[in-house]
Each structure stands twice: as C-alpha cells, then as structure tokens.
C-alpha cells in the first residue's frame, strides 16, 4: 500500500442497512478525516481524529460513527443508511492535525436506495 | 462554518488570468487551498498562515488578509491543466478543515 486507500470503490445499499466504509493509510499520519461531497455543497467534514484513540464531530456527523483503534485505520459506519446519505465519501490524513497538508483517498461512491 | 468562495465558476482561455476568493465570518489563522479534477480526489496546493508563512508545492500565488478574513488564489497565464474545482479550507474544531463549496475553473484552448 502506498498512501491512503478506501474500500469499497462504490456501493449500492438498501435503506436501513448497516455499512462500514474502510480507510487505511500507511504514512503513519496522526490525523485522519472523513468528508462527504455532494454536488453544489463542496466537501463537508463528517468526523475527524487527531490521534489514535480520539475522535471528534465535524459539520455533518448525524447518522455516522467512527473509531480510531490504531494509527492506520479510520472506518466510517452508517448504522442505518438513509437515501440522504447518498454521496461520495473521501477519507484524508495529515501528518499532524495542525496546519498540514491533507492527503485524500480515491473516494467511495455510495448510493442508498 | 463553511467559508464563502467566489466566483462559483469561471471560464478562461489559455494564457488568461483568474482570481478565486475565499472569505470567512470568523478569525482565520490559516487558509488551505486544494484543487480537484473531475472524478479524482482533491489535491493539496498550499497553506497560508497568519504572519505570512506559506507552505505549498505548486507555483501558484496567493494572498491572505488576516484583518479582512480573506484569501485569494491567483492563477496567472493559465494552462489547460489548471482546470478543475478549487476549494479553500479554514480551520474548525480541532484544526479540522471546513471547506467552501468550490470554484469551478475551465481553461479552454
């Protein structure tokens, strides 16, 4: 692995189902982030983690949860998916949380029907 | 709280210049700029810090007016490769970024 990876690349999901989007980085970055991107709304922060073991809420956290059990992984879980969660999800990481370049993963396109 | 970007979209011919603006209603300590090409992930351009320091890879110039809580990105002598959507980001809780809605730039031959 080189950089930051996300899985799956795309997914179609029935409303009400549980889904976990995976994100892994091999850069030993302390900080990780989840964004959703919707047309006309730009990138909106869902949750973040400044270091392993800690997480924080972003601008649009409702309906999503995260965990950061180790440095490399930062999964995003939709407990019960709804159609409004149809979006492209990007995971990102940075060396530290404070004023550093963020590296983005390739994204996951999620459709909730 | 999302920063506000302007314009929403701009179309240029190769070689022309463009300015993209980013403003915030709250005090800024830094402004981050990213570019996203269609179907790809956003890519870092630069960070402008309070006090005048800049960190970045690209030969792109930008300004940061702390008093006015504004930043501008200057794209001079534009090339086809400059096409994409540009996002500015400002610090929110825990240094995580709040991004603007983006400015779509199309450079034509």
The tally of domains found in chain B comes to: 1
Residue spans of the domains in chain A: they are 4-112
How do residues B49-65 score in pLDDT, each as one tens digit?
Answer: 888 788 886 678 899 99
CB within 8 Å: A45 and B42: no
pLDDT of residue B50: 84
B94 burial (CB, 10 Å; 0-12 / 13-18 / 19+) is middle
The structure tokens 């972003």 sit at A58
Residues in chain B: 109
Q: Flag whether residue A14 sits within 8 Å of chain B, measured between CB atoms.
A: no
Q: Flag whether residue A103 sits within 8 Å of chain B, measured between CB atoms.
A: yes
**Could you tell me the residue range of the domain that residue B75 belongs to?**
4-108
Tally of helices (H runs) and strands (E runs) in chain A: 0, 11
**Which domain CATH number covers B43?**
2.60.40.10
Of A31, A40, A43, the CB nearest to B42: A43
pLDDT of residue B98: 92
CA distance B73 to chain A (A): 17
All residues of chain A having their beta carbon less than 8 Å from the beta carbon of residue B42 are 43, 90, 102, 104
Do the beta carbons of residue B55 and residue A102 sit within 8 Å?
no
* pLDDT surpassing 70 at residue B12: yes
All residues of chain B having their beta carbon less than 8 Å from the beta carbon of residue A98 are 95
pLDDT of residue A1: 54
How do residues B63-105 score in pLDDT, each as one tens digit?
Answer: 999 888 999 999 999 999 999 999 999 988 778 899 999 999 9
Q: Flag whether residue A100 sits within 8 Å of chain B, measured between CB atoms.
A: yes
CB within 8 Å: B99 and A44: yes
- Label the pairing between strands B54-56 and B103-108: unpaired
pLDDT of residue B58: 66
Q: Flag whether residue A98 sits within 8 Å of chain B, measured between CB atoms.
A: yes
CB within 8 Å: B99 and A43: yes
Q: What fold, for A4-112?
A: Immunoglobulin-like (2.60.40)
| pLDDT tens for the 113 residues of chain A, in order | 579 999 999 999 999 999 999 999 999 999 999 999 998 889 999 999 999 999 999 999 999 999 999 999 999 999 999 999 999 999 999 998 777 899 999 999 999 99
User: In the A/B pair of chains, how many CB contacts fall below 8 A?
Assistant: 68
Question: Assign residue B52 a region: left if phi > 0, alpha if psi is -120 to 50, beta otherwise?
Answer: left
For A7, phi then psi, to 5°, come to -145, 145
pLDDT of residue B53: 80
Q: Which residues neighbour B39 within 8 Å (Cβ) at sequence distance 6 or greater? A: none
How do residues B31-47 score in pLDDT, each as one tens digit?
Answer: 999 999 999 999 999 99
pLDDT of residue B15: 95
């Amino acid at each position: 692995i080189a950089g930051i990876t996300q899985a799956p690349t795309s997914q179609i999901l029935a409303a009400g189902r549980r889904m976990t989007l995976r994100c892994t980085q091999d850069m030993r970055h302390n900080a990780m982030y989840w964004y959703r991107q919707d047309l006309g709304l730009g990138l909106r922060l869902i949750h973040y983690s400044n270091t392993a073991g800690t997480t924080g809420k972003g601008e649009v956290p409702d309906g999503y949860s995260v965990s950061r059990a180790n440095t490399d992984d930062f999964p995003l879980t939709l407990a019960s998916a709804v159609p409004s969660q149809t979006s492209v999800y990007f995971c990102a990481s940075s060396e530290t949380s404070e004023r550093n370049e963020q590296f983005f993963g390739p994204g996951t396109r999620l459709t909730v029907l | 709280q999302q920063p506000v970007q302007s314009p929403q979209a701009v179309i240029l011919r190769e070689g022309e210049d463009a300015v993209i603006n980013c403003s915030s209603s709250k005090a800024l300590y830094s402004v981050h700029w990213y570019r996203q090409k269609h179907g790809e992930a956003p890519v870092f351009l630069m960070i402008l810090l309070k006090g005048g320091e800049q960190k970045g890879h690209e030969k792109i110039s930008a300004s940061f007016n702390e008093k006015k809580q504004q930043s501008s990105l200057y794209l001079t002598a534009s090339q086809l490769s400059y096409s994409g959507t540009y996002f500015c980001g400002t610090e929110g809780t825990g240094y995580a970024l709040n991004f603007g809605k983006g400015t779509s730039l199309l450079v034509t031959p």
